[in-house]
Amino acid sequence: MSSGVDSLFSTYLLYTRHPSTISSLSSSINEPIPPTRPLSIQPMYMLNWLSPSTGKFCPSNLRDLSVVKSQLSTLLTFPPPPNTTLHPVSLHSYASSYYTEVFMPTLESYESSITLNPDTSCNSLIKFDIAKEQSLKTSDLITTGHYATLKFGRLKIPRDVKKDQTYFMSTVDNFDRVFFPLESWLKNGRKGVRESLHDVGLGEYDKKDSMGMCMVPSGESFEDLVREYAEGGGDEEKGGGDIRLAETGERVGGWNSNSKNPVYYTVGQRVPVNGYPKKLFMLRREGNGDVVVVDDTTSDLLYSSELECGEFNWMGGEEGGWARGRIRHGQPLIECEYRKTEGGGVKVKWKKALRAVAKGQICCLYDDEGYVIGGGAITWTGGEIDGMAKAKSGDNDRSV
């Protein structure tokens, strides 16, 4: 768990044996949980980032752990239901695995102009793999504060569609013995998670949502980490790289050791160039460090109608057909047609052309009932867009 309101409220629901939570839990394990059945809750705190330069955990993680301990102490003042035990938080470090399995592959992907999602990788490789396997050695099941639903072992969009986190878990291949207590809860609004925490006098109910990448310590930015570890591209003899227009090849600017590293940029993102009269948007980064841009955010060059994922985590619907999908967390679902490829991946054709689809991004598909069909990293994007309607930027791209 973390010090966020979602983890705290999930623990509260279990500790107090909230009726709806126990009912959902009974359905999840397919057996009744009577009041006389013992319920033992072991909170676990994951430390994923150990600074390679100092060999220490970042202070913000340690402060967060201190808050968790304080929250649990407060929760223990609540009279527990019979046969219910809440243990002190246990600390587990996965920093070594995180560094080799998540951080370095993410960094290498950025250096190769591929946009991997580290939070998705963390879920599939750490939280619901290594950490889950360790936890289940001494537990019957694990719970997390994610907003997601599991039905018949399949991942589904939860009640709170605004907080839906199924996109980040679409590459997890096994949800056996996993339970999400918040599947039927809204985070905000009347009788939501925040208001309920306030009503019982527990925790920082108004704490802001965590929006950062899970490898980035509080007080730092992803750029700080890239600056420290990335090689960053660029021709050393030139002292940097050029910024060129895609249509004409004209050089409109450049970058050097004092500029923002082009590794930071992804497709469709604005690239500032001092003195240039128009806004520029990245199309691609060349192997020599040059950045190719367009001067129109709606340029056809930024749009595509098809994509392919070489590997795809199938959860259902392998026969292909029509679906809805997204390539970024939180964007509205876009209608598409898909089919399974011979290699087990997926080929997707969108009903509307999408802007700034990048290799490495996760494509997640859903059926009409909101069940996740599967998810995978994009390995190819293209297709003709002549005559196609373009999805509004708000429908598929929030970087503009």
pLDDT over 90 at 143, yes or no: yes
Between 56 and 365, the higher pLDDT residue: 365
Domain membership of residue 208 (yes or no) is: no
Domain membership of residue 14 (yes or no) is: yes
Domain membership of residue 229 (yes or no) is: no
pTM for the model: 0.91
- Which residue from 366, 378, 357, 359 is spatially nearest to 312, judged by alpha carbons? 378
- Structurally, the chain folds into a number of domains equal to 3
Give the C-alpha separation, 12 to 9, whole Å: 5
- Which residue from 379, 247, 356 is spatially nearest to 310, judged by alpha carbons? 379
Q: Do 284 and 310 belong to one domain?
A: no
Tokens coding 252: 């409109």
pLDDT over 70 at 260, yes or no: no
Write the DSSP symbol of residue 326: E
pLDDT over 80 at 213, yes or no: no
Question: What percent of the chain stands above pLDDT 90?
Answer: 60
Q: Do 177 and 117 belong to one domain?
A: yes
Q: What is the pLDDT of residues 82-135, one digit of tens each?
A: 999 999 999 999 999 999 999 889 888 888 888 888 999 999 999 999 999 999
State the CATH number of the domain containing residue 146: 3.40.50.620
Output the pLDDT for position 263. 72
Domain membership of residue 261 (yes or no) is: yes
- Which residue from 273, 282, 225 is spatially nearest to 252, judged by alpha carbons? 273
Owning domain of residue 110:
5-199
Write the DSSP symbol of residue 129: I
Backbone angles phi, psi at 324, to 5 degrees: -125, 145
pLDDT over 80 at 51, yes or no: no
State the CATH number of the domain containing residue 316: 2.40.30.10
Q: How confident is the model at residue 49 (pLDDT cuts 50, 70, 90)?
A: confident
Placement of tokens 């791209």 in the chain = 397
pLDDT over 60 at 257, yes or no: no
As a whole number, the mean pLDDT across the chain is: 87
CA 313 to chain centre: 15
User: CA torsion, points 285, 291, 294, 298, in degrees to nearest 10?
Assistant: 40
Domain membership of residue 328 (yes or no) is: yes
> What interhelical angle do 5-15 and 59-75 show, nearest 10?
30
Backbone angles phi, psi at 273, to 5 degrees: -130, 115
Domain membership of residue 250 (yes or no) is: yes
- Domain end residue (candidates: 294, 318, 343): 294
Output the pLDDT for position 287. 77
Q: How confident is the model at residue 3 (pLDDT cuts 50, 70, 90)?
A: low
Question: What percent of the chain stands above pLDDT 70?
Answer: 86
Q: Do 311 and 390 belong to one domain?
A: yes
Domain membership of residue 220 (yes or no) is: no
Q: Do 331 and 194 belong to one domain?
A: no
Q: How confident is the model at residue 177 (pLDDT cuts 50, 70, 90)?
A: very high
Write the DSSP symbol of residue 89: P
Tell me the H-state helices in the chain: 5-15, 19-29, 59-75, 95-98, 104-111, 118-122, 132-135, 193-199, 222-229, 393-396
Output the pLDDT for position 353. 96
Q: Do 136 and 22 belong to one domain?
A: yes
- Domain end residue (candidates: 148, 183, 199): 199
Highest mean pLDDT among 36-40, 189-193, 274-278, 343-347 belongs to 343-347
Output the pLDDT for position 241. 82
Backbone angles phi, psi at 215, to 5 degrees: -90, -5
Output the pLDDT for position 102. 92
pLDDT over 70 at 220, yes or no: no
Domain membership of residue 159 (yes or no) is: yes
Q: What is the pLDDT of residues 95-106, one digit of tens each?
A: 999 999 998 898
- Domain end residue (candidates: 184, 199, 214): 199
Tokens coding 135: 């936890």
Q: How confident is the model at residue 205 (pLDDT cuts 50, 70, 90)?
A: low
Q: Do 117 and 191 belong to one domain?
A: yes
